[in-house]
């Protein structure tokens, strides 16, 4: 294979995704603001120019990481939030059942993209990239609240608790997983999703 057929790689053999993963780990460990490009280069064992071979700036690294987490969470909602979604697969489901699927999907996203979601949850809006991410997070939260409200209106969830409170408590529990979950532990993502649904949702269901 000729040299120009090889993917462009930074030394010592990092591709963009490999660099991104290490950068996200550094951001989580030291904080985004406190992690300079020089510190990233030292951690990677490459020159700063090798990083700039793949990324235009530190902000671009952050943007890619946050987009990966947000896009995965948004996809979990898109897949089941509307009753006619996925070619009618979810037609006829109660909104509470679709909410359960969203909660399960969110747990899987968190487990599969733990570093990126951890970084997302630490965003405080200090940069334009962070502010855009927060706008998307709020839109996600609003869709979850709307789904809870739909379930309450149809009578499949208790209606005596404000829909936004239900949504915040459920995702507060899911988000807390980043603080203690370690891959390879006793629970895989399926079992963890079962536990989240049991604690967050089962007590909210009405008897049908």
Residue 64 lies in a domain: yes
**DSSP structure class, residue 8:** P
pLDDT at residue 133, rounded to an integer:
98
Regions of the chain short of the pLDDT cut 50: 1-11, 85-88, 91
Is 86 in the same domain as 186? yes
The pTM of this model reads: 0.85
Smallest CA-to-CA distance from 61 within 47, 53, 109, 113 is with 53
pLDDT per residue as tens digits for the range 23-64: 999 999 999 999 999 999 999 999 999 999 999 999 999 999
Domain of 21, CATH number, reads 1.10.10.60
How distant, in Å, are the alpha carbons of 79, 181, 200 from that of 206? Answer: 24, 31, 14
Q: Which domain holds residue 184?
A: 58-204
pLDDT at residue 88, rounded to an integer:
46
Question: How far is Cα 61 from Cα 50, in angstroms, rounded to an integer?
Answer: 14
Counting the structural domains of the chain, the total is 2
Residue 123 lies in a domain: yes
pLDDT per residue as tens digits for the range 51-62: 999 999 999 999
Within 8 A by CB and 6+ apart from 43, the residues are 22, 26
């Amino acid at each position: 294979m000729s040299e120009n057929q090889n993917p462009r790689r930074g030394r010592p053999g990092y591709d963009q995704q490999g660099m991104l993963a290490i950068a996200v780990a550094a951001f989580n460990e030291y904080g985004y603001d406190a992690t300079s490009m020089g510190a990233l280069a030292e951690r990677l064992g490459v020159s700063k120019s090798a990083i700039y071979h793949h990324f235009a700036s530190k902000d671009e690294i952050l943007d890619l990481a946050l987009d990966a987490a947000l896009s995965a969470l948004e996809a979990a909602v898109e897949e089941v939030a509307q009753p006619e979604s996925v070619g009618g697969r979810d037609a006829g489901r109660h909104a509470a059942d679709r909410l359960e699927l969203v909660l399960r999907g969110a747990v899987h996203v968190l487990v599969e993209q733990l570093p990126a979601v951890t970084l997302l949850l630490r965003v405080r809006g200090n940069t334009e990239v962070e502010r855009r991410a927060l706008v998307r997070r709020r839109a996600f939260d609003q869709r979850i609240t709307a789904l809870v409200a739909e379930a309450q209106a149809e009578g499949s969830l208790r209606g005596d608790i404000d829909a936004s409170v239900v949504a915040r408590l459920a995702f507060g529990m899911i988000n807390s997983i980043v603080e203690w979950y370690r891959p390879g532990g006793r629970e895989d993502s399926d079992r963890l999703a079962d536990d989240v649904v049991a604690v967050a949702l089962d007590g909210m269901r009405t008897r049908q």
